[in-house]
Amino acid sequence: MFDYETLKLAWWVLIGVLLIGFALTDGFDLGAAALMPFVGRDDDERRVVINTIAPHWDGNQVWFITAGGALFAAWPMVYATAFSGFYWAMLLVLFALFVRPVGFDYRSKLPNSRWRSSWDWALCLGAVVPSLVFGVAFGNLFLGLPFQFDNDLRLAFAGSFWHLLSPFALLCGLVSLSMLCLHGGTWLMMRTEQAMAQRARRAAQWSLLVYLVAFIATGAWLVLGNLQGLVVASAFDPGAVLNPLAKVVALNNHGWLDNYGRYPLSKLAPGLALLGAALSFAAVTARCSGWAFLGSSLVIVGTLCTAGFALFPFVLPSSLDPASSLTVWDAVSSQKTLGIMLVVASIFVPLILCYTLWGYFKMWGRLTAGHIKANDHGLY
């Protein structure tokens, strides 16, 4: 079996993979739902949008649930601290996600236009809110959360929900929202035809423009602003048992850029995001929907890796007491727990990927308003 240090690093990678898997799969249906009122001009067209994502959305959220379960088991202190710091934000996301299954099932139960329009906007809002909050949460990781541990490792949190809504965090939320709308727009380009595909194309173009401006502005804020990142300033044993307070943390990592100088290969992450954006732009312009979707997927992978590499080894930085910040090395479960979970994950994560791909394969194809009318009782 792997040594403790290797297991800690492996679980940092695996949780990152699960979050990326969630963003790639659930990201396009969140983005498509957010764009639905604008891409679909009438009831039949909006039902087209719904039917491109409704067969997949619940399967896509398995990645989210798996990532949450892995976080609970592999990083219990991170799980407890994050759910304390992001408590109201988590509830907001949860209530927004509640709207989705109800909206998909009840939206077409009545032929009343006001009833259906209300559910359309509810589904849109239920997609916009999580997409925005996820980015806000990542933005707050760069700013640090106001928590600290006492000598008995009891947690004290000094912030509030409104504390999370700083300008920098909201800018990161805009990065997330526009990125997922781009992904949703390229998805709808692949799954719809004619006028709807053209409107999805325009939505993807605007989303890409907003993403590029917000992504570059976020990087400029980190580089040019007075935002200091953290660095572990004391010697420590990465394979030792957990004790978050057994380290010295200093505020001398300007803009969270140290890792990009220490590990030159990490610079590939922002480069991948910009390469994906360029590919998306070229493919959307040329109406090559498959390549556009690949480009938006690269944007997501590059963006999340950019954040993860910049923060490493920190998982949950503290602005109140930097020494209380949780890292990959000191916020994990026991070696035996990580080892058992790694075996389980190596079996079930590929299974999740296989049945997800099988579901897409069996339900693939472009949908049209005519197809919706011809199958009025068989579709959402």
Nearest to 36 by CA among 22, 19, 23, 48: 48
Q: What pLDDT score was predicted for residue 118?
A: 92
For 376, the token pair is 């009025």
| Each residue's pLDDT tens digit, 4-13 | 888 999 999 9
* Residue of 272, 341, 351 lying closest to 308 (CA atoms): 272
Alpha-carbon Rg for the chain, nearest whole angstrom, is 21
The arithmetic mean of pLDDT across residues 123-152, rounded, is 91
pLDDT of res. 239? 63
Q: How far apart are CA 37 and CA 42, in angstroms?
A: 9
pLDDT in tens, 90-114: 889 889 988 888 888 888 888 888 9
Average pLDDT over residues 242-252: 83
Angle, vertex CA 211, rays to CA 208 and CA 214, nearest 5:
150
d(CA 182, CA 202): 10
**What average pLDDT does range 235-254 have in this prediction?**
78
Could you give the residue ranges of the DSSP H alpha helices within the chain? Answer: 4-39, 43-53, 57-74, 76-85, 87-106, 113-143, 167-191, 194-224, 258-262, 268-285, 289-311, 335-362, 369-374
In this prediction, residue 200 has a pLDDT band, given cuts at 50, 70 and 90, of very high
> What global pTM score does this model have?
0.92
When pLDDT is averaged across residues 156-167 and rounded to a whole number, the result is: 84
pLDDT tens-digit map of 254-283:
889 999 988 999 999 999 999 999 999 999
- pLDDT, mean of residues 41-68: 84
pLDDT over threshold 70, residue 376: no
Mean pLDDT over residues 137-142, rounded? 93
Whether 240 has a pLDDT exceeding 80, the answer reads no
**Cis peptide bond prior to 244, omega within 30° of 0:** no
Helical (H) or strand (E) element with 228: strand 228-232
